[in-house]
Amino acid sequence: MAKEKNIYTCSACGGTSSRWLGKCPHCDAWNTLIESLAPSEAPAKNRFAGLAKTADVVILADIEASDVERNPTGNEELDRVLGGGIVQGGVVLIGGDPGIGKSTLLLQALDALQRAGQKTLYVTGEESGAQVALRARRLGLEHSQVRVQAEIQLEKILATLQVQQPDVAVIDSIQTVYSEQLTSAPGSVAQVRECAAHLTRAAKASGVAIVLVGHVTKDGSLAGPRVLEHMVDTVLYFEGDTHSSFRLVRAIKNRFGAVNEIGVFAMTEKGLRGVSNPSAIFLSQHAEPVPGSCVMVTLEGTRPMLVEIQALVDSGGPSPRRLSVGLDRDRLAMLLAVLHRHAGVSCMDQDVFVNAVGGVRISEPAADLAVLLAVTSSLRGKPLPKGFVAFGEVGLAGEVRPAPRGQERLKEAAKLGFSLAIVPKANAPRKPIEGMTIHAVERVEQALELARGLD
Ligand code: TYD
Ligand code: MG
Question: What is the per-residue pLDDT for 215?
Answer: 82
CA 199 to the chain's CA centroid: 22
Q: Which atom of ligand 1 is nearest to the CA of 172?
A: 6
Q: Which atom of ligand 1 is nearest to the CA of 267?
A: 19
Question: What is the per-residue pLDDT for 343?
Answer: 94
How does DSSP assign 126-177, residue by residue? SS-HHHHHHHHHHTT-TT---EEEE--BHHHHHHHHHHH--SEEEEE-GGG-
pLDDT band at 1, cuts 50/70/90?
A: very low
Ligand 1 binding pocket mutation candidate from 242, 267, 268, 270 (most atoms within 8 A of CB)? 267
- If you measure from the C-alpha of residue 100 to the centroid of ligand 1, how many angstroms do you get, rounded to a whole number? 6
- If you measure from the C-alpha of residue 99 to the centroid of ligand 2, how many angstroms do you get, rounded to a whole number? 7
Look at residues 207, 205, 238, 232 and name the one whose alpha carbon lies nearest to residue 106.
238
- If you measure from the C-alpha of residue 272 to the centroid of ligand 2, how many angstroms do you get, rounded to a whole number? 13
How many whole angstroms separate alpha carbon 453 and alpha carbon 127? 59
> Any idea which ligand is nearest the CA of 107?
1
Q: Which residue has the least CA distance to atom 23 on ligand 1?
A: 271
Task: Please compute the mean of the pLDDT values over residues 68-89 and round it to a whole number.
Answer: 90
Whether the pLDDT of residue 44 is over 80: the answer is no
Do the Cβ atoms of 128 and 135 come closer than 8 Å? no
Q: Which residue has the least CA distance to atom 1 on ligand 1?
A: 101
Q: Which residue has the least CA distance to atom 12 on ligand 1?
A: 101
Q: Specify burial of residue 220 (Cβ count, 10 A radius: 0-12, 13-18, 19+).
A: exposed
- Residue-wise burial string across 235-248, b where 16 or more C-beta atoms lie within 10 A, e elsewhere: bbbbbbeeeeebbb
Q: What value does the CA radius of gyration of the chain take, rounded to a whole number of Å?
A: 26
As for ligand 1, residues whose beta carbon falls within 6 Å of it are 96, 98-104, 135, 138-139, 267, 269-271
Task: Please compute the mean of the pLDDT values over residues 221-230 and round it to a whole number.
Answer: 66
- If you measure from the C-alpha of residue 139 to the centroid of ligand 2, how many angstroms do you get, rounded to a whole number? 14
pTM: 0.80
- If you measure from the C-alpha of residue 357 to the centroid of ligand 2, how many angstroms do you get, rounded to a whole number? 26
- If you measure from the C-alpha of residue 428 to the centroid of ligand 2, how many angstroms do you get, rounded to a whole number? 46
Question: What is the per-residue pLDDT for 316?
Answer: 81
- If you measure from the C-alpha of residue 100 to the centroid of ligand 2, how many angstroms do you get, rounded to a whole number? 8
Fold of 72-276: Rossmann fold (3.40.50)
Q: 72-276 and 281-453: same fold?
A: no
How much of the chain exceeds pLDDT 70, in percent?
Answer: 93
Secondary structure of 19-48 in HEC code, one letter for each residue? CCCCECCCCCCECCEEEECCCCCCCHHHCC
Residue scoring higher pLDDT (164 or 301): 164
Question: What is the per-residue pLDDT for 40?
Answer: 58
Task: Please compute the mean of the pLDDT values over residues 47-74 and round it to a whole number.
Answer: 77
Q: Which atom of ligand 1 is nearest to the CA of 100?
A: 7
pLDDT band at 2, cuts 50/70/90?
A: very low
Whether the ω angle into residue 173 lies within 30 degrees of 0, i.e. cis, is yes
Question: What is the per-residue pLDDT for 14?
Answer: 83
What residue ranges do the domains of the chain occupy? 6-37, 72-276, 281-453
* CATH architecture, range 281-453: 2-Layer Sandwich (3.30)
The answer for residues whose C-beta is within 8 angstroms of residue 425's C-beta and 6 or more apart is: 400, 402, 440, 441, 442
The answer for residues whose C-beta is within 8 angstroms of residue 373's C-beta and 6 or more apart is: 294, 384, 390, 422, 447, 448, 451
> Any idea which ligand is nearest the CA of 244?
1
pLDDT band at 7, cuts 50/70/90?
A: confident
Q: Which atom of ligand 1 is nearest to the CA of 139?
A: 22
Q: 437-441 and 420-424 as β-strands: parallel, antiparallel, unpaired? A: parallel
Task: Please compute the mean of the pLDDT values over residues 237-261 and round it to a whole number.
Answer: 85
Distance separating the N- and C-terminal Cα atoms of the chain: 81
> Any idea which ligand is nearest the CA of 172?
2
- If you measure from the C-alpha of residue 96 to the centroid of ligand 2, how many angstroms do you get, rounded to a whole number? 10
SS3 330: helix
Question: What is the per-residue pLDDT for 51?
Answer: 59
CA 222 to the chain's CA centroid: 11
3-12, 182-191, 227-236, 299-308: which range is least confident on average? 3-12
Look at residues 264, 288, 277 and name the one whose alpha carbon lies nearest to residue 388.
288
Q: Which atom of ligand 1 is nearest to the CA of 107?
A: 2
- If you measure from the C-alpha of residue 115 to the centroid of ligand 1, how many angstroms do you get, rounded to a whole number? 22
Q: Which atom of ligand 1 is nearest to the CA of 104?
A: 2
Cα angle for residues 135, 138, 140 (degrees, 5° grid): 115
Sheet containing 271-274: order of strands: 147-150, 120-124, 168-172, 209-215, 91-96, 234-239, 246-254, 262-268, 271-274
Whether the pLDDT of residue 19 is over 90: the answer is no
49-58, 266-275, 333-342, 398-407: which range is least confident on average? 49-58
Q: Which atom of ligand 1 is nearest to the CA of 96?
A: 7
Ligand 1 binding pocket mutation candidate from 104, 126, 244 (most atoms within 8 A of CB)? 104
- If you measure from the C-alpha of residue 126 to the centroid of ligand 2, how many angstroms do you get, rounded to a whole number? 7
Q: Which residue has the least CA distance to atom 15 on ligand 1?
A: 99
Q: Specify burial of residue 286 (Cβ count, 10 A radius: 0-12, 13-18, 19+).
A: exposed
Between the alpha carbon of residue 374 and those of residues 21, 106, 278, the distances in Å are 53, 39, 22
How many whole angstroms separate alpha carbon 264 and alpha carbon 380? 35
**Which amino acid is present at 126?**
E
**Which amino acid is present at 306?**
L
> Any idea which ligand is nearest the CA of 99?
1
| pLDDT tens digits for range 275-328 | 877 877 777 777 788 999 999 999 987 888 999 999 999 988 888 999 999 999
> Any idea which ligand is nearest the CA of 173?
2
- If you measure from the C-alpha of residue 247 to the centroid of ligand 2, how many angstroms do you get, rounded to a whole number? 15
Helix, strand, coil percentages (3-state) for the chain, rounded to 5, are 30, 25, 45
- Paired with 312 in beta bridges are 353
pLDDT band at 158, cuts 50/70/90?
A: very high
Between the alpha carbon of residue 146 and those of residues 107, 119, 267, 393, 433, the distances in Å are 9, 8, 22, 48, 50
Q: Which atom of ligand 1 is nearest to the CA of 270?
A: 22
Question: What is the per-residue pLDDT for 219?
Answer: 58
